[in-house]
Amino acid sequence: MGSKNIHQRLVIVTIVLISIAVIASVSYLGGKKQKPATIDIEKNPTIGLSNAPVHMVLFEDLLCYNCRLFSHNVLPEIKKNYIDTGKVKCTIILLAFMKGSQFPANAALCVNKTNPGKFYEFMQKLHDFQAEDEKDWESKSNLIQIASDVGDIDLLQLRLCIRQKSCYDELQRNMEVAKKTMGKNFGTPAVYINGKPMGSLSYEAIKKEIEKALSP
């Protein structure tokens, strides 16, 4: 056998061995389960039973258009079918990275401090308000009016909390938590089910993941 043939066979064998190694590596990584994210939810509003078996975490910015779509089109269905039935608790982590969003986000967290049972409704009203471009987010009176429309919110405490920017430090902390959790995939809205990030934010996709988490 000539040296040329031997060299060719060695090249072929080397290529085959490299291919096998690459395939094995890809198979290993593909089969390796992604570790659930550990999310620091301290001081953030949570709706639903504290002992619900499934924990959903929602990151959103109140001036984010896609967040508004999610909160109006998907979240109510999740709330009706899973949160209100005791199967899921949902922690909402408000972010304020969009221009002007610190003011309403601070107000929402203020409501959570004084009247936590009204947080969800107040947040949804803020999303409604977002759609009306002519309104001024920086007007305290607008936020007080929204709170008044919701009802059963301590308006005196809310005014004080807004004036003192009481929750700005919490908003900064939420940003740090979001960046740590999402890394290069940072964006809103973002949903995690028991620490697992959701690729699709459709109701059907989230429902499927919740049902999977509920199954024995």
pLDDT at position 145, please?
Answer: 93
Residue 5: count other Cβ atoms within 10 Å of its Cβ.
9
pLDDT above 50 (res 25): no
Instruction: Sketch the domain layout of the chain as residue ranges.
Output: 1-32, 46-214
Q: What is the CATH code of the structural domain delimited by 46-214?
A: 3.40.30.10
Lowest mean pLDDT among 10-19, 78-87, 121-130, 198-207: 10-19
In this model, does residue 115 exceed pLDDT 80? Answer: yes
Instruction: Report the pLDDT value the prediction gives residue 33, as an integer from 0 to 100.
Output: 61
Residues 6+ apart with CB under 8 A from 4: none
Residue 114: CB partners within 8 Å, gap ≥ 6? 153, 154, 157, 158, 161
The two tokens of residue 13 are: 């064998």
100, 62 Cβ separation under 8 angstroms: no
Percent of the chain with pLDDT over 70: 81
pTM for the full model? Answer: 0.83
What mean pLDDT do residues 124-137 have? Answer: 74
